[in-house]
Amino acid sequence: MAPTAKGTPSRLQAEIHQKKTFHSAQQEGAIGIVRTADVLKRRFSRIIEPHGISGQQYNVLRILRGAHPERLPTLEIAQRMIEEAPGITRLLDRLERKGLVKRERCDSDRRQVLCEITRKGLTLLEKLDAPVSRADDEALGPISAADLGSLIRILDAVREHHA
């Protein structure tokens, strides 16, 4: 939301207690995206973290469940992540210690490690499916279907521009 009148702060300015106007609509839009992403991330963390995993660990488990029963190479998991995870090996180490994933060296290429979700990992995701789905629906619930379609296209364009 742009300033409504000279000196009247936008909603974003008020939220972050910023006195000066943004230097451009692009700056306000970019900060708005980051602020909104953080709000949603914290919301989902409150659902996921009581189950002993982080948002990134949840993402890995979802990726592996999607491939199940196939195993995925570590680098392919990293490429599929929603958020870039430079420490994918450490992320997998933690999940393996919790018994949520299993890793094995590839027989044909010993440099490659193949990962798969365990029964325990699948069970955890089953517990989280309904609350995460409700949170998805509630997160963007106030947006009309038409506006949601526009939002998706706009976000796609921003990501494509920076790809």
- Condensed to tens digits (0 to 9), the pLDDT of residues 50-80 reads 999 999 999 999 999 999 999 999 999 999 9
For residue 113, which phi and psi values (nearest 5 degrees)? -110, 130
Given the DSSP bridges, would you call strands 113-117 and 72-73 parallel, antiparallel or unpaired?
antiparallel
Alpha-carbon distance 10 to 85, whole Å?
A: 34
**Mean of all residue pLDDT scores within the chain:** 91
In the predicted structure, residue 154 carries a pLDDT above the cut 60: yes
Q: Which of 109, 132, 138 is nearest to 61 (CA)?
A: 132
What pLDDT score was predicted for residue 79? 94
**Could you tell me the domains of the chain?**
40-130 (1.10.10.10)
